[in-house]
Amino acid sequence: MAELAHVQHFIELMAKTRSLTDLEALLENMTLDMGFQYFALVQHVDVRKSNNRQTIWLENYPDSWAEVFIESGLYANDPIHVASQHTSVGFAWSDVNRLIRLNAHHKRVLDKAQKEGMGDGFTVPLHIPGEANGTCSFGVKRGHQLPRHNLMVAQLIGAYAFEAARKRVTEMSHGGSEKPKLTPRQLDCLVHVSRGKSDWEIATMLGIKESTVRSYVDDACERYGVRRRVQLVVRALHDGHMTLRDAIG
């Protein structure tokens, strides 16, 4: 069981992080210590209107489920995110119907999550006046029990992690560094990635080798300093390399 002493240690380690990548690795370790397998620290932004150079998007969800987020238009109308607008304290995903009335779309999203191996979870709403709201979610694999004895610790970890991420993003924004440049071919691949296409499908559509597609995307990830494709898509949207219409298709 994680204890408050672990939370204090986590806070001290967060203060020493110098990048979102460092924070992501630290949060992943703490997630496992609390008895969860997955985490997602994200900011709910409308990429069509946001002027931010950076956004908070850290997660280790299964690749298949992360792709669903992209295919659905970047978690548009996700029931967990909708429910987070109706409370200021954390809630279990299995209790979401107590916060909002689930419509047919919400139920499809939850069913799809289970099919992709996601079990129950716990989401911490993060509301900052004048800024885009966010959430820090912790989840377990399907068939695993939610570690309810650690939900209070998860509430604290989520809040402190979000604040640390905000500080890192602010530092990056004030650094004045130029946004990464992507080649036309990388952008071609990225648009299809955002629509949930596989490397083989992209290669077929563009008339290139599958290994070449992977090379283009991996290089783009390296330029942005991210590990996952879903993070790459979000950053590219914010920087104006592509539009939400491109992503939805």
The identity of residue 182, as a single letter, is L
Number of CB atoms found within 10 A of residue 174's CB = 9
91-109 tens-digit pLDDT: 999 999 999 999 988 888 8
Can you tell me whether residue 210 is helix, strand or coil? helix
Report which residue type is found at 25: A
User: In 20-146, which residue ranges form alpha helices assigned H by DSSP?
Assistant: 20-33, 63-71, 79-83, 104-115
SS3 call for 141: strand
Say if residues 69 and 247 touch (Cβ distance below 8 Å). no
> How long a stretch of residues is the chain?
249
Rounded Cα distance between 166 and 133, Å, is 11
pLDDT, one tens digit per residue, over 177-227 is: 567 889 999 999 999 998 888 999 999 999 999 999 999 999 998 888 777
User: So what's the pLDDT on residue 129?
Assistant: 73
Of 2-11, 73-82, 95-104, the one with minimum mean pLDDT is 73-82
